[in-house]
């Protein structure tokens, strides 16, 4: 973690925090000493020395983290460190002022524009300066703005040129810090594994990347806010679509590295060669959006690293959890790629998954559902399995695994999952007839769309309540119902 990496380079608390830090460190080390005396009888002196040293490093890292200035890695100073807590959106104001401090030496004019924007944000949040410390903060910030104006070569401020100046500085700042190269270098180091012996190098690269991208994100947010004050036509003339895409891409990069298991589907990778395997590429391609699916609403965003796919549609319709969708996307790609590898290697620049591989995955995944339908008897959601297209089979596979991935203890009711799949698939068939995808009625809640809240949680509550009647395993089986009893209800 970053806190652990920070302990590799001990530093001294700033004077304003020195006495407080010493007191906290003293209390923490005192606690460590008590712990050491309590377990000294069971551990050797060498191990105890290491434990105390590690504890002291952790305390120092915690103190250092308290005074570190976020992604900029420096203590908050000047007006940026004195944003009143009474301002509801003080975090964004603080970010803008920190960026102004960061670029002051490079371009005082741009720093002045950022300070003025921060003042406007504060004024909008508390126009009458009624909050504690707001009047002093505004007065101090206005003083800083006047000082920055005094350093200019005279002349009135042309506010209409602020957007152009910010955009031009954005380009220069991006080129000066080689943003693309900076991100690629960090990713190569992170994925190569060679940093394990030198965590400090990775930490420095990560901190620099966050620092640069945080400044770019502030510049982009200020440009967005200022463009709202002018007409859309003027804004379109000032900012090209190409530049807007670059800024949006950089803003998305400020998020930390996207986690994945084996295949990086939601994040760009420069060293993980598994994404170049023909079977993997074919599997990813087979899940992509196609013309028979309804359009996704504009509220659904997709990472730049990939195209929209079937799982994005199901996420939109049933409100599956984001991480569940990411996990099952990778899971299904693995299933398809593995089955394709058994059938033979693919060739060509755009490999296509074999129909046979899709059918095998479909048959194995929905085998229990097919048996369940035959036993009841009940007609499956499809009329004839032979008439199912490859895309429809994959859509059903995706839906089944998304249900399974979020089912919690309801997984122990396999026929219960068949029941849920059957009704959600029927609901999906109706939504598929629409031009634009919309939430399923079964999963709509007061807080939005959630399969977990509306489908799984009620079942879980009933099973959990019944488990409470077993008297910690001492009650007779006839006195309470277990998973098998509940599962029997569904067949």
In this prediction, residue 180 has a pLDDT band, given cuts at 50, 70 and 90, of: confident
Same domain membership, residue 433 and residue 294: yes
Residue 130 included in any domain: no
Q: Band of the pLDDT at 191, cuts 50, 70, 90?
A: low
Query: What pLDDT is recorded for position 196?
Result: 52
Residue 206: count of CB within 10 angstroms of its CB? 18
Question: Alpha carbon of 298 to those of 241, 248, 288, 301, 307: distances in Å?
Answer: 18, 16, 17, 7, 14
Residues 312 and 439 in one domain: yes
CA-closest candidate to residue 147, choices 79, 92, 64, 207: 79
Q: Is there a domain that residue 9 lies in?
A: no
Could you report how far apart the first and last alpha carbons of the chain are, in Å? Answer: 49
Q: Which of 188, 221, 256 is the last residue of a domain?
A: 256
Does residue 307 sit in the same domain as residue 227?
no
Higher-confidence residue of 382 and 275: namely: 382
For 289, the domain range is: 274-489
73 part of a folded domain = no
Residues 248 and 282 in one domain: no
Same domain, 252 and 394: no
How high is the pLDDT of residue 31? 40
**Do residues 163 and 308 both lie within one domain?**
no
* Whole-number Å distance between alpha carbons of 417 and 474: 29
Question: At which of 228, 256, 284 does a domain end?
Answer: 256
Could you report the per-residue pLDDT of 231-261, keeping only the tens digit for each? 777 777 777 788 888 888 777 766 555 667 8
pLDDT (tens digit per residue) in 297-329: 988 888 877 889 999 999 999 999 999 999 999
CB atoms within 10 A of CB 444: 16
State pLDDT tens for residues 293-303: 999 998 888 88
Position 283 scores a pLDDT of 96
pTM of the model: 0.58
Angle between helices 199-227 and 90-103 in degrees, nearest 10? 110
Number of domains in the chain: 2
Q: Select from 230, 256, 282 the last residue of a domain.
A: 256
Q: What is the model's pLDDT at position 424?
A: 98
Q: What does each C-alpha distance from 8 to 2, 3, 186, 202, 263 come to in angstroms?
A: 10, 10, 19, 12, 31
Cα of 80 vs its chain's centroid, Å: 27
Same domain membership, residue 417 and residue 312: yes
User: Is the residue at 135 inside a domain?
Assistant: no
Asked if residues 324 and 312 have their Cβ atoms less than 8 Å apart, the reply is no
Is residue 117 in a domain? no
Distance of alpha carbon 387 from alpha carbon 370, whole angstroms: 15
- Residues 39-75 have pLDDT tens digits of 444 445 666 666 666 555 555 444 444 334 455 555 5
Domain match, 186 and 214 both: yes
pLDDT at 247: 84
Q: With 50 as the cut, is the pLDDT of residue 4 above it?
A: no
Calculate the average pLDDT of the chain. 79
* 278 and 224 in a common domain: no
Greater confidence (204 vs 415) lies with: 415
472 part of a folded domain: yes
Q: How many CA atoms lie within 13 A of 340 on its CB side?
A: 24
Residue-wise pLDDT for 342-365, tens only, equals 998 887 888 999 999 999 999 999
In a domain, 424, yes or no: yes
Determine the Cα–Cα distance for residues 114 and 447; give it in Å rounded to an integer. Answer: 36
Q: Do 347 and 434 fall into the same domain?
A: yes
* Residues 366, 468 share a domain: yes
Check residues 187 and 152 and name the one with the higher pLDDT.
Answer: 187
Distance between CA atoms of 240 and 142, rounded to whole angstroms? 33
- Asked if residue 280 and residue 198 are part of one domain, the reply reads no
Q: Which of 3 and 438 is assigned the larger pLDDT?
A: 438
Instruction: For the beta carbon of residue 68, count every other beta carbon within 10 angstroms.
Output: 19
Q: How far apart are CA 242 and CA 225, in angstroms?
A: 19
Q: Is residue 18 part of a domain?
A: no
Greater model confidence, 235 or 110: 110
Dist. CA 354–CA 362, nearest whole Å: 13
């Amino acid at each position: 973690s970053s806190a652990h990496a920070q302990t590799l380079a001990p530093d001294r608390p700033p004077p304003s925090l020195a006495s407080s830090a010493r007191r906290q460190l003293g209390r923490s080390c005192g606690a460590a000493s008590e712990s050491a005396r309590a377990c000294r009888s069971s551990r050797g002196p060498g191990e105890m020395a290491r434990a105390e040293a590690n504890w002291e490093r952790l305390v120092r890292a915690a103190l250092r983290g308290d005074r570190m200035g976020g992604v900029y890695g420096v203590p908050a100073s000047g007006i940026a460190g004195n944003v009143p807590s009474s301002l509801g959106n003080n975090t964004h104001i603080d970010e803008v002022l920190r960026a102004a401090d960061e670029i002051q030496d490079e371009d005082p004019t741009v720093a002045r524009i950022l300070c003025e924007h921060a003042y406007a944000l504060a004024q909008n949040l508390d126009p009458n300066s009624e909050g504690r410390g707001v009047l002093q903060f505004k007065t101090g910030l206005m003083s800083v703005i006047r000082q920055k104006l005094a350093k200019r070569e005279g002349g009135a401020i042309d506010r209409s040129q602020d957007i152009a100046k910010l955009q031009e500085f954005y380009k220069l700042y991006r080129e000066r810090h080689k943003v693309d190269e900076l991100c690629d270098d960090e990713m190569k180091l992170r994925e190569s594994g060679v940093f394990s012996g030198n965590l400090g190098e990775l930490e420095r690269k990560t901190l620099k990347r966050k620092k640069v991208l945080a400044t770019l994100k502030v510049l982009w947010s200020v440009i967005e806010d200022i463009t709202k004050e002018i007409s859309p036509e003027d804004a379109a003339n000032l900012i090209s679509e190409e530049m807007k895409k670059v800024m949006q891409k950089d803003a998305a990069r400020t998020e930390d590295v996207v986690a994945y298991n084996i295949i990086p589907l939601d994040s760009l990778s420069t060293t993980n060669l598994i994404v170049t395997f023909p079977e993997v590429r074919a599997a990813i391609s087979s899940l992509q959006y196609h013309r028979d699916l309804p359009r996704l609403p504009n509220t659904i965003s997709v990472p730049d690293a990939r195209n929209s796919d079937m799982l994005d549609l199901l996420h939109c319709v049933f409100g599956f959890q984001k991480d569940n969708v990411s996990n099952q996307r990778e899971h299904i790609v693995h299933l398809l790629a593995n089955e394709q590898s058994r059938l033979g290697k693919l060739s060509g620049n755009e490999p296509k998954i074999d129909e046979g591989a899709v059918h095998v995955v479909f048959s194995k995944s929905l085998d229990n559902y097919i048996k369940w339908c035959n036993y009841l008897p009940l007609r499956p959601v499809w009329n004839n399995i032979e008439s199912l297209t490859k895309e429809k089979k994959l859509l059903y596979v995706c839906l089944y695994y998304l249900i399974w991935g979020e089912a919690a203890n309801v997984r122990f009711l396999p026929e219960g999952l068949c029941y849920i799949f059957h009704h959600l698939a029927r609901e999906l068939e109706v939504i598929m007839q629409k031009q634009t995808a919309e939430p399923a009625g079964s999963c709509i809640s007061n807080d939005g769309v959630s399969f977990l809240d509306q489908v799984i949680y009620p079942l879980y509550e009933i099973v959990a309540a019944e488990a409470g009647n077993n008297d910690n395993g001492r009650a007779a089986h006839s006195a309470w119902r277990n998973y098998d009893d509940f599962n029997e209800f569904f067949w």
